[in-house]
Structure 1
Amino acid sequence: MTDMPLAQQQDVLANSRLPMEPASGRGRSHGTSSNEAFDRWFRYPAGFASDYVSLLLAQLDIARESLVVDPFAGSGVTGTSARNMNYSFFGIEAHPAIAELAALKLQAPPGDVSELVHAADHLVRVAERDSGSAARYLGNEAELTRRCFAPEVLTRLVSLRNLISDGKAGNWKGYAKWALLGTLRDVAAVRVGWPYQNPTKTRKARFSDPLVRFRQRIDWMATDLRSVDSTQHDGSALRVVHGDSTDSDSWAPLGHGVAHGCVSSPPYLNNFDYADATRLEMYFWGEIGSWAEMCRTVRSKMLTATTQQSSVGAATSASKSLEEYGDVAKRIDELREELKKERAERKRGKEYDRVLPDYFAAIGKVLKNLSTALTPGAPVVWLVGDSAPYGVYVDTPGIIAELAACVGLKLEDDRPLRRRGQRWAKNTTRHQVELSERLLLLRR
């Protein structure tokens, strides 16, 4: 079916029981929604919108109070949707900061939500009063941070950060931290859109006063927390762990044969650097002090999907480990040779041929761990796009389905959702291969 034009595929699958994505496309262009409850806390440029996750969960015939898993939990979109529908949830996320955010959304608040609002009001009053003292220390900030904000804005941001770091938000520190981190791009005076920051290009900040915007975000959090029934805040039933879903140890808290379904969106094979995407927030908070530290503590732990993560040694090792998958391993190796040839012709091309085996070897390990965690008959929905580096078409969803079959997951549906790459349609130097985002329905 993937040989058909995308429009024809959509016609063929129009009557499938799985829903197409919402016509509004909310939150689809750059990851999670900026409007939906909990999604709006921080718009991470990955995953899908919670309104679509809810549609998917409703179609999977999973009994209420069953356990849903997500090996690429991101900012917790599947988790919050599962909670709203009275499911238990277990997620694994490799990015330490984003795993922290996802866990924060699912945990029980430390008290009455009105306390969060009162704590924020106190932080704003003190930050407004003490911003002058914070200005003396701006020289200690990372260069990226200094370049992104007007000095008067940065002093207020730093003042808030220092107060929160010093514990002035009390038990609500995590919420205040993420309200502040979500404010950064709203008040930046340079282009800081997803996925890359470009501090050399100025822009008018969307919001002029970071304290006002911070308080607005706190109000969103309070509203969203109040919308959740207190009985849904069960720490034993709603969990996100920071870990590597290729490693069976990360699945150990879950156990074998206990999960009743999975809804997830793995990293796409499209050279998007999820670690670099959060550089501004991690530099500002002081969790990362250099690019080398970012690569060592964040990027190195994440599934290889970019040429920045690739190496000759890792690619060779991955190709060796893929041999257990038989014919699909041969298909991956043939694609690798095509990519290697294309790179050689360009002389300075990116090493997509190194990424390919490492990416699929990692996906194979995730699928193997997932299969072990699922109950017999459990459905698995993965949303993933194909790609065409240097015009070499890589049917990523199709290859994933073949890998899944090798570990006991049967393909039931392969549904195209939308065209991809239209943003660069007028770029004459780019390939003209038609790409799509697809939905895979697998079953244990």
Structure 2
Amino acid sequence: MTVDSMKSPAVADGFARRHPYGSWVEGHGDAALSSNVGSADLAFQRWFRFKEAYSPRLVAEILDGAGLPARRVIDPTGGSGTTALTCSFLGIDCDTVEVNPFLADVIEAKTRSYVTSELSEDMALVLGSPSTAVDISRLAAAPRTLIEPGVDGRWVFGSEVAARIMSLHDAIERHSRPQHRPLLKVLLGSILRDVSNVTVNGKGRKYRSGWERRTIRAADVNDKLREACKVAIHDIVRFGARTRGTVRVHRGDARTTIQTLPRADCAIFSPPYPNSFDYTDIYNLELWMLGYLSSPADNKALRLATMHSHVQLNRPARVPTFPSISLARTMEGMEGVRDRLWHRDIPAMLSSYFADLETMVLSLQERIDPGGAIAVVIGGSSYAGVEVDAPGILAELAASAGLPTVTRRKLRDMRLSAQQGGRHGLAEELVVLRA
């Protein structure tokens, strides 16, 4: 497989049109390829809504522009499962890695085959389960604001709502077939924010305006889950006969798990950006309420298995093996504004982030067949006026390691933080490397 050019737009042409992929993305819209806007309403993708995701069209363009159809793809940071799901529609096998156990279930749920009658039966058993008494104390190790009475009169879930969520989770474990549990947990997870007192975005969560006056009951939890189940069944029935590539979900730290994967023709992924967002915390509600976390130790272990993209956890700093002039200049710039940084560990985080990214790319170099592609969607960040050109630094590190850049394509301008003016000034790019 060779990578000579990126065709744009390519989705309506080539091999993509000859698969059920075409009907799946029909009416998708013209939003930015790196944005989930529009694609969030596609079948399967709408089961759990993500803000941080790229479009299936981008995956198809990368594959179509690679010259020859791929047989196997690697996505080392699975996230919302866009790469895996798109490959599934295109009849391409995909090995994807995801460290967050809830997101790993999201990917499995979207890419599995289902017997509709059996799935409907399990959904009915779960929805019809009685609101049995549950031991809320099993969430004693969770953040104290999670369940009413919370802290200082603030809580995320009312006690009645929390009890019903936990009861439904227990019913999924007791009454559903093992192959249906990831999907049912994902659907239950998809309604948690709607029945909570908070909203969640890339920077964490905040309380809704007037949340104290909202009344959410156990019956509302059931109603919302029933609607989510209907949507899922509709999508499964509509696309149940699609061409299906085999998707394997590997749960673990991408920095080490990549080395265990089978060889592939190309890699397509988007790592967390070096923007100080704690992506574990963003899914805090789902991780605690659905039993993925049971102790602070679990939470810490999960955070330690993620890339150094934030400063919320103290851990040893790392330095890339190969040189990058842009990274060296960035680190010099950080030293010059150290007294203005909102956290003293930001320089160490940035150095460690690019060391992690280098580790992942070098591991992919060993897994991708010669002439294949490593396609990375990556965006920059800015601290105290010092911009971090993540796409450029990646390209320089890769070149130093013997991986030339085939394509650098700007996808969109991202907005700076409000503290830095809020203007659009950070480039998000597709960087394609030749293996």
Identify the TM-score tier after normalising by the shorter chain: 0.7 to 0.9
Match of residue 40 from structure 1: 46
Hey, what's the Cα distance between the residues in 2 that align with 1:428 and 1:163? Answer: 46
Gaps of at least 5 residues in structure 2 are 12-27, 148-154
Which residue, 7, 20, 34 being the options, matches 1:17?
7
Matches within 5 A, 1:36-435: 36-63=42-69, 66-109=71-114, 112-126=115-129, 130-131=130-131, 133-134=132-133, 137-138=135-136, 141=139, 142=142, 143-146=144-147, 147-165=155-173, 167-171=174-178, 172-199=180-207, 202-203=210-211, 209-228=220-239, 232=243, 237-247=246-256, 249-254=257-262, 258-295=263-300, 297-311=301-315, 314-315=316-317, 318-319=318-319, 322=320, 324-326=321-323, 328=324, 331-345=326-340, 349-421=343-415, 424=417, 427=418, 430=421, 434-435=425-426
> When you count helix as a share of all residues, which structure comes out higher?
1
Hey, what's the Cα distance between the residues in 1 that align with 2:32 and 2:422? Answer: 28
Distance 1:259 1:429, change over 3 A: closer
Q: Following TM superposition, by how much is the alpha carbon of 1:81 offset from its aligned partner in structure 2, in angstroms?
A: 0.1
Q: How many residues align?
A: 401
Partner secondary structure for residue 375 of structure 1: strand
Q: Following TM superposition, by how much is the alpha carbon of 1:31 offset from its aligned partner in structure 2, in angstroms?
A: 8.2
Deviations 1:287-314 (A, max 9, x none): 223445312x211001111122454xx2
Hey, what's the Cα distance between the residues in 1 that align with 2:123 and 2:52? Answer: 29
Match of residue 7 from structure 1: none
Deviations 1:195-242 (A, max 9, x none): 4123485545899812121122222222333344568556xx321201
Partner secondary structure for residue 370 of structure 2: coil
Partner secondary structure for residue 369 of structure 2: coil
Distance 1:20 1:190, change over 3 A: farther
Match of residue 8 from structure 1: none
TM-score (norm 1): 0.80
State whether residues 307 and 355 of structure 1, in contact with CA within 8 Å, keep that contact through their aligned partners in structure 2: yes
TM-score (norm 2): 0.82
Hey, what's the Cα distance between the residues in 2 that align with 1:361 and 1:291? Answer: 27
State whether residues 34 and 412 of structure 2, in contact with CA within 8 Å, keep that contact through their aligned partners in structure 1: no
Q: Following TM superposition, by how much is the alpha carbon of 1:371 offset from its aligned partner in structure 2, in angstroms?
A: 1.1
Deviations 1:124-160 (A, max 9, x none): 122xxx32x43x7446544343222334433322221
Q: Following TM superposition, by how much is the alpha carbon of 1:80 offset from its aligned partner in structure 2, in angstroms?
A: 0.6
Gaps of at least 5 residues in structure 1 are 1-14
Between the aligned residues of both structures, percent identity stands at 25
Hey, what's the Cα distance between the residues in 2 that align with 1:93 and 1:429? Answer: 32
Hey, what's the Cα distance between the residues in 2 that align with 1:378 and 1:182? Answer: 36
Match of residue 430 from structure 2: 439
